[in-house]
A and B are shown apart, each in its own frame.
Chain A
Amino acid sequence: EIVLTQSPATLSLSPGERATLSCRASQNISYYLNWHQQKLGQAPRLLIYDASNRATGIPARFSGSGSGTDFTLTISSLEPEDFAVYYCQQRNSWPLTFGGGTKVEIK
């Protein structure tokens, strides 16, 4: 099973600041890494697929990078609606696995 480790667990930032979230895989997963956002009380939604591709309707301030074992989600300038929990997820092999999540909170 591929283990995904997200850091930090919590990120305290102000609107307008840049957010950088990390996800590390326990083995090489090529580019098969997705990022999901979950707001309180809502279902998750896909932000980034295959490491760097924005999903339909996702604003350009969200970007993803990385390959192999190290991946990054960057939010260039935080909007009030971006404060949420972010999960990375790999689809390189079954079982599909998720990271533990990074909570982006208002400082």
Chain B
Amino acid sequence: EVQLVESGGGLVKPGGSLRLSCAASGFAFSSHYMNWVRQAPGKGLEWVSSISSSSTYIFYADSVKGRFTISRDNAKNSLYLQMNSLRAEDTAVYYCVRDPRLDNWGQGTLVTVSS
């Protein structure tokens, strides 16, 4: 069974940093693109970033480019999102999602940016 478990969310002040992690199991992690998708409270889904299986290709939404960094460690079956210079509008539940089809979602971790 595919499992994606996010961690690392919490309350952070504007301008602060946070690192999200996603532990993957139940599939060949090193063979799949991985993604971060977020959802602000009461809003729709917004794609944040994607990384190819060997980290060769990386994509970011314009809204986070230059502030967020996606990475992965295939030996640890883990995906990461380093978030710097956080803003109030980054407040959201962040989901770790497999594949460009977005075929398996984690339960999400809440990031709140507030003073």
Question: Using a CB–CB distance below 8 Å, which chain A residues touch chain B?
Answer: 34, 36, 38, 43-46, 49-50, 55, 87, 89, 91, 94-101
Q: Digit string of B34-70 for contact with A (CB within 8 Å is 1, else 0)? A: 0100000000111100100000000101100000000
A100 touches B44 (CB 8 A): yes
A81–chain B nearest beta-carbon distance, Å: 18
**Size bin of chain B's contact surface:** 10 to 19
Which 5 A-B residue pairs are closest in the complex by CB-CB distance?
Answer: A91-B100, A96-B47, A94-B59, A43-B105, A98-B45
The closest CB in chain B to the CB of A53 belongs to: B101
Residues of A within 8 A of B104 (CB): 46
Q: Digit string of B7-47 for contact with A (CB within 8 Å is 1, else 0)? A: 00000000000000000000000000001000000001111
The closest CB in chain B to the CB of A46 belongs to: B103
Number of A-B contacts (CB under 8 A): 51
B101 touches A95 (CB 8 A): no
B80 on the A face (CB < 8 A) = no
Q: Which of A89, A94, A100 contacts B102 (CB 8 A)?
A: A89
The closest CB in chain A to the CB of B63 belongs to: A95
Q: Which of A38, A87, A91 contacts B101 (CB 8 A)?
A: A91
CA of A7 to CA of B101, assembled, Å: 22
The closest CB in chain A to the CB of B100 belongs to: A91
The closest CB in chain A to the CB of B62 belongs to: A95
Q: List 23 A-B contacts (CB under 8 A).
A: A34-B102, A36-B102, A43-B106, A43-B108, A44-B45, A44-B95, A45-B105, A46-B103, A46-B104, A50-B101, A55-B103, A87-B45, A89-B102, A91-B100, A91-B102, A94-B50, A95-B47, A96-B35, A96-B47, A96-B102, A98-B47, A100-B44, A101-B44
B74 on the A face (CB < 8 A) = no
B77 on the A face (CB < 8 A) = no
